[in-house]
Structure 1
Amino acid sequence: MEQTMQSGQPKKRPVLGILGGLGPAASCYLYQMIIDHTPAQRDQDHIDLVISSRASTPDRTAFIVGQSTEDPFDVMEQDGISLVRYGATVLAIPCNTAHYFYDRLAAALPVPVLNMPRLTVAQAKAGGCRKLGILATDGTLLAETYQLSCREAGIGWAVPSPEAQRGVMTVIYEQIKKGRRADMALFNAAADDLRAQGCDRAVLGCTELSLVKRDEHLGPFFIDSTEVLCRQAMLACGVTPVGFDEF
Structure 2
Amino acid sequence: MSVTGVVKRPTPIKTIGILGGMSDKATIEYYKFINAKINAQYGGWEIGETLIQGCNFGNIEYYVRNNAWDEAREYLETKAKLAEAGGADILVCVSNTMHKVLDRLPQILSIPFIHITTPTAEAIKAAGLNKVALLGTKPVMQADYIKAEYAKYGIEIVVPSEVQQKEVDRIIFDELVKGKILDDSRQYYINTSLALAAEQGAQAIILGCTEIFLLIGQADLPSLPVFNTTELHVDAAVKLATT
TM-score by length of 2: 0.84
Counterpart of 1:179 in structure 2 is 179
Asked if residue 201 in structure 1 is aligned to residue 204 in structure 2, the reply is yes
Counterpart of 1:75 in structure 2 is 75
Aligned counterparts of 1:69 and 1:108: Cα–Cα separation in 2: 18
Mapping for residues 109-188 of structure 1, pairs under 5 Å? 109-182=109-182, 183-188=185-190
Counterpart of 1:223 in structure 2 is 227
Deviation at 1:76, TM superposition (A): 1.3
- Match for 1:58: what amino acid? N
Deviation at 1:146, TM superposition (A): 2.9
Counterpart of 2:14 in structure 1 is 14
Q: Tell me if the contact between 1:57 and 1:75 (Cα under 8 Å) persists in the aligned partners.
A: no
- Match for 2:158: what amino acid? A
- 5+ residue gaps in structure 2? 3-9
The superposition leaves residues 190-244 of structure 1 with CA deviations (integer Å, 9 ceiling, x where unpaired) of 21221121111110000121222369865452110001101000001016xxxxx
Aligned counterparts of 1:109 and 1:12: Cα–Cα separation in 2: 22
Aligned counterparts of 2:23 and 2:218: Cα–Cα separation in 1: 17
Deviation at 1:188, TM superposition (A): 1.8
Q: Tell me if the contact between 1:57 and 1:72 (Cα under 8 Å) persists in the aligned partners.
A: no
Counterpart of 1:232 in structure 2 is 236
Q: Tell me if the contact between 2:190 and 2:221 (Cα under 8 Å) persists in the aligned partners.
A: no
SS in 2 for 1:132: strand
Deviation at 1:56, TM superposition (A): 4.3
Number of corresponding residues: 231
Asked if residue 84 in structure 1 is aligned to residue 84 in structure 2, the reply is yes
Counterpart of 2:59 in structure 1 is 58
Distance 1:88 1:179, change over 3 A: same
Aligned counterparts of 2:217 and 2:226: Cα–Cα separation in 1: 12
Asked if residue 212 in structure 1 is aligned to residue 211 in structure 2, the reply is no
